Amino acid sequence: MTHAYISGTGFYVPPEVVSNEVLREKYGIDTTHEWIVQRTGIEERRFAAAGVGTSDLALHASRDAIERAGLTPRDLDMILLATLSPDHAFPGSGVYLQEKLGLCTGDSPKFVPALDIRNQCSGFVYGLATASSMVESGRCKHVLLVGAETHSAALDLSTDGRTISSLFGDGAGAVVVSATEEDRGIRGWYLGADGRHADVLSQKVWDIKQRPFIPLNEQGVGQVQPSHMWAHMDGKLVFRNAVERMIGALMQACMDQNLTRDDIDLFFFHQANMRINQYVAQQIGLPEDKVVHNIQRYGNTTAATIPILLAEAERSGRLKRGMKIAMVAFGSGFTWGSVIADW
């Protein structure tokens, strides 16, 4: 029987560190380090430089994961890229990543399929379900799955936008999902969505229902209202649903695998807000040493949070071969999901 396992992990974050104090001093946001930490647990995040896009961040993380899997880009059979901040409205960033990996050039180009996943914070979990299914079906041997975000270009870095802009950072995480006959890898996944709350956490920077979809002024220049240009969030409703859905997704995945919380060695929660994750862990009764965090240093990198967590935990030796792990995420849509895997 063919199983799907994570054969390599990789991550990349831009070099510019933006602390909470930098938000106040450089960008003039009326906030304090204590205010942000108390509400989110975030102390700093990374911002990409001008001219750097999502596929550029994804390239660094992908090369890292591919190398650690003992492969070359030519060994890949498919690319999945999860992001809410693609390089352009279209095409998807997956094809840009494919080209930057060198798959389209040389004596033997390999035009592997490239699929973008638009499930925001739960994009990586949706991607793992897709990648493992493709591998288990026998159609693919190695699938590159990347979560990458360049949030900093689309944040309202002003006092008006501080509630949201203080949350997000830029970064990319990647894994290679490979086939094996060993009894290991992805054991099960559970996904869900509730479109009733689609507008609760959204960024309607362009509305395709309008004609034209970006209004034009008298000079023919497109103008977007601030209410559409920046992300909008009902924080209390998001918090309540995140807690409920993350707990439910974890319980469902564990029940499907006939597991209890004590059978899981490490839990990898999407890094949206430290307070959400702490509350979830408290409600389930998880010991602190079983829950991995890095939101303090990177903020919310949306689709990239879980693969960055995996890569860092593996590098540090905290994540070891043979461990049973759980991953869970919740995000805009609302969408959510969980995955159980034997490392």
Name the residues annotated as catalytic: 121, 270, 300
Task: Spell out the residues 6+ positions from residue 28 whose beta carbon is closer than 8 angstroms to its own.
Answer: 158, 159
Question: Computed over its alpha carbons, how large is the radius of gyration of the chain?
Answer: 20
Rounded to whole angstroms, the Cα distance separating 185 from 179 reads 9
Q: Which two tokens mark 229?
A: 């240009």
3-state secondary structure of 168: strand
How far CA 214 is from CA of 150, 220, 231, 270, in Å, comes to 22, 10, 17, 33
Q: What is the DSSP string of 85-139?
A: S-SSSSS-HHHHHHHHTTTTSSSS-----EEEE--GGGHHHHHHHHHHHHHHTTS
- Tell me whether strands 44-47 and 16-19 are parallel, antiparallel or unpaired: antiparallel
3-state secondary structure of 170: coil
How far CA 157 is from CA of 36, 132, 153, 154, 247, in Å, comes to 14, 38, 9, 9, 33
